[in-house]
Chains A and B, each alone.
Chain A
Amino acid sequence: MKKMLLTGVLLALSGAGAVKVGALLPLSGAGSVSGQAARNGYLLALEEINKAGGVLGRPLELEFADDGSSPAKAVPEFVKLVTVEKVDFMVGGVSSATSIAISGPAKQYNTFMAWIGAAAVPVEDAFADHKYFFHYHPWSYYNFEAILDYFKHLRVTKKARNIAIAYEDGPFGSAGIGDTVAAFKKAGFNVVMTEKFKTGSGNFGPIVSKAKAARPDIFYWVGYDTDALPLATEIKQQNLNVGLIYGTPPSWPVGFEKNRLADNVAGLSLWLPTSPNAQSRAFVNAYRKKFGNVTEEYFAPLAYVNLKTLAAAINKAGSTDKDKVAAALAATNTQTPFGPLTFTKSNKTRYQGFKAGSWLSFQYLGDDRAPVYPLKFAKKTTVWGK
């Protein structure tokens, strides 16, 4: 242990010859919650990698850049990392818009990119022909595939037939809503209500009233964390008789699980800190040790896995040659807090990491979020309200 620590210290002190990795993240702006979470994940991974001897016997160095959640800021920051900081590899990338904005320079400089976010399909189009683009996060169609799979399970086990959809009128809720409705119908569900709302308005009275008249089995809402509580309150007040309330906000309100209104509300996550697998436990313990708390944001473990696997690939390749590292990373087959990670083709890109099978559906039960689907990961059975 002491030897490892000493190696780490020596590596850290010898900045010369470091392998440089640039991390482009939204450390400010709209996506900063995910960006800051990812930053912590990277810092944890960096510490472990350098303690264990770095890469190729050299220290690994991370250069963070803030894209400000804005394409106009992302482009210069990306170019700076590549041309001024002369990073060997790029990691990060949370927002889809900023990722597309840098696709031009990325191709121009033939940059190696191990990307953790940016789930929108236009990103897949933009990087379809980029041979050094490794995408870890599932594309948006994988997210919906996971939800649909769960709902199909509910159709069999709970006789769920009717779905009411409430979605926010911004890009997050509205994007692909037509395809969502069509996919539900194709899968044999009746979409009995499709209503949009304005995020943050807190006015769910008319929507819940309409849903009550439509008598859905599943109330499916696509919105942000700010909508969760007012929606749950309205559903309780109007006594909506529904089997399951299922939401897909990027994050949930802090302390939502302590509120009784959250009982039985279900949602989607790539990871839960309560995930029982060994890698997840190890990550939670290491994270708590370094930062003194436990994160609920899956971008932290995702960034952690991202840097660890990239470092492993560089070591396996035995050099920083992009082709060799790409071949090594493509051959990744490792256990992670999200389950096994391998890279296979997606609809358009060559190297896709996590797919639909990595998503978990959970339910707020008691004071916790319990995985309820897929069944092999379930800790509890879905509580059905009807």
Chain B
Amino acid sequence: MSQALDRGRAVVRRPDVPLRSLLPLGLFFLLALVFPFLPLGERAEYLLQIAFFTLVAGVLALSWDILARSGQVSLAHAAFYGLGAYGFALLSKVMPWFLAMPVAALIAGLISLILGAVTMRLSGMYFAIATLAFTEVVRTIIQNLPEATAGGANGLLVPALLGGNARAQYFLAFGILLFTALVSLAIRRSRLHHAFAAIRQGEETARVLGVSVVKYKLLAFFISSFLAALGGVLYAGKTFFINPLETFSLANSIAPLTTSIFGGLYTTLGPILGATVLRVAEEILHAYIKNGYLVVYGLVLMLSILWLPRGLMGLFKRGKHGGDV
């Protein structure tokens, strides 16, 4: 396997992802695409805002899941989300937004390589704590940059994405989630899938098999952080304002984790589905239980995870070849 992964392309074939298994994912994106055109009446604009943040939550969850596939349970996602947001806010002062967006994500991706390299030898809770500390370090640095540059602890006003047009912003978020899903599928169809799975199941074994653990772990970090940063860009451009406390909050690291587990780990549809169901559930609970809805929400989440150890994706039949998509 090792030779196959890193040198010999002929021995291990690419993992198959049967087209049939892509249907639910395709259906989701089709629904998301036509959503703004549905006759939603007076609730249309409100639902469009909810849908926007749901798409962002999907990007964040799926990007986290891609890293988790290599066995790295990170609590640094808020750092990359925040770096994307801050990168975009600062870069959009000197370049057009459509350039600022990928450049900000690229910078976050490159910074993630530092974290990846530093935490290379850590695993389990030690790795999680190190990534959590990394988020705190990034937050502190941003907060202590000159106020004129990064707003300091006060925060920073951000130019509205696409002139603040809610529908255009929605389609941008849709596009980025679609891109994230395509990256996820591409990974599943490539040898990376086997490499990540091998590392996750045991680094030593993977190493013995010849998998370049360092290379693949760093690659997972880069891809995941790049995508998370794109989520941060969307958030910043939508809310017009970022500050260190909100942007680098622990909640932004925990949410993608719980969402992915709830939806179904190591899949493409699972984290997206998890984000959608949880966000919608939160809104519904909020509407009917004004006080204490978060308690009910937490209980529902807890019980769901207990009863569905493989998440929502566990409800679907496993694919015969490529596993769950």
Cβ of A125 under 8 Å from chain B = yes
| Interface size counted on chain B using CB atoms at 8 A | 36
Q: Min CB distance, A273 to chain B, in Å?
A: 25
Give CA–CA (A345, B152) in the complex, Å.
Answer: 27
Residues of chain B within 8 A of A70, CB atoms compared? 246
Per a CB cutoff under 8 Å, which of A100, A169, A174 touches B241? Answer: A100
Given contacts A97-B241, A103-B240, A171-B143, contact A76 B53 (CB under 8 A): yes
Q: Min CB distance, B73 to chain A, in Å?
A: 24
CB–CB B164/A171 < 8 A: no
Over the window 102-142 of chain A, the binary record of Cβ atoms lying under 8 Å from chain B Cβ atoms (1 yes, 0 no) is 01100010000000000011100110000000000000000
Give CA–CA (A103, B46) in the complex, Å.
Answer: 15
Cβ of A188 under 8 Å from chain B = no
Residues of chain B within 8 A of A240, CB atoms compared? none
CB-nearest residue of chain B relative to A64?
B290
CB-nearest residue of chain A relative to B244?
A171
CB–CB B154/A71 < 8 A: no
Cβ of B50 under 8 Å from chain A = yes
Among B42, B49, B151, which residue has the most Cβ atoms of chain A within 10 A? B49
CB–CB B43/A71 < 8 A: no
Cβ of B90 under 8 Å from chain A = no
Q: Min CB distance, A105 to chain B, in Å?
A: 8
Question: Chain A contact residues: over half helix, strand or loop, or mixed?
Answer: helix
| Interface size counted on chain A using CB atoms at 8 A | 35
Residues of chain A within 8 A of B154, CB atoms compared? 120-122, 171, 175-176
Per a CB cutoff under 8 Å, which of A28, A104, A170, A178 touches B294? Answer: A28
Given contacts A72-B235, A80-B46, contact A97 B246 (CB under 8 A): yes
CB-nearest residue of chain A relative to B147?
A178
Per a CB cutoff under 8 Å, which of A75, A122, A178 touches B49? Answer: A75
Among B42, B156, B239, B286, which residue has the most Cβ atoms of chain A within 10 A? B239
Residues of chain B within 8 A of A120, CB atoms compared? 154-155
Per a CB cutoff under 8 Å, which of B46, B140, B151 touches A83? Answer: B46
Residues of chain A within 8 A of B294, CB atoms compared? 28
Give CA–CA (A47, B112) in the complex, Å.
Answer: 55
Q: Which residues of B96-123 have CB atoms within 8 Å of chain A's CB atoms?
A: none
Give CA–CA (A96, B245) in the complex, Å.
Answer: 12
CB-nearest residue of chain B relative to A80?
B46
Q: Min CB distance, A198 to chain B, in Å?
A: 10
Per a CB cutoff under 8 Å, which of A72, A80, A172 touches B53? Answer: A72
Per a CB cutoff under 8 Å, which of A83, A121, A178 touches B45? Answer: A83
Residues of chain B within 8 A of A176, CB atoms compared? 147, 152, 154
Q: Min CB distance, A37 to chain B, in Å?
A: 15
Per a CB cutoff under 8 Å, which of A66, A108, A170 touches B286? Answer: A66
Over the window 139-167 of chain B, the binary record of Cβ atoms lying under 8 Å from chain A Cβ atoms (1 yes, 0 no) is 01001100100011111110010001000
Residues of chain A within 8 A of B243, CB atoms compared? 97, 171
CB-nearest residue of chain B relative to A120?
B154
Over the window 26-62 of chain B, the binary record of Cβ atoms lying under 8 Å from chain A Cβ atoms (1 yes, 0 no) is 0000000000000000111110011001001000000
Residues of chain B within 8 A of A83, CB atoms compared? 42-46
Give CA–CA (A300, B89) in the complex, Å.
Answer: 36
Cβ of B193 under 8 Å from chain A = no
Residues of chain B within 8 A of A174, CB atoms compared? 143-144, 152-153
Cβ of B217 under 8 Å from chain A = no
Q: Which residues of A303-342 have CB atoms within 8 Å of chain B's CB atoms?
A: none
Give CA–CA (A319, B45) in the complex, Å.
Answer: 27
CB–CB B240/A84 < 8 A: no
The 5 closest A-B CB pairs, nearest first, are: A171-B153, A100-B241, A101-B239, A174-B153, A76-B49
**6 interchain pairs (CB within 8 A)?**
A76-B49, A80-B43, A83-B45, A172-B153, A174-B152, A176-B152
Sample of 12 further A-B pairs with CB below 8 A, known A76-B283, A83-B46: A71-B239, A71-B241, A75-B53, A75-B238, A83-B42, A84-B43, A86-B42, A104-B240, A122-B156, A125-B157, A171-B243, A173-B153
Interface residues of A (CB under 8 A from B): 27-28, 64, 66, 70-72, 75-76, 79-80, 83-84, 86, 96-97, 100-101, 103-104, 108, 120-122, 125-126, 169-176, 178
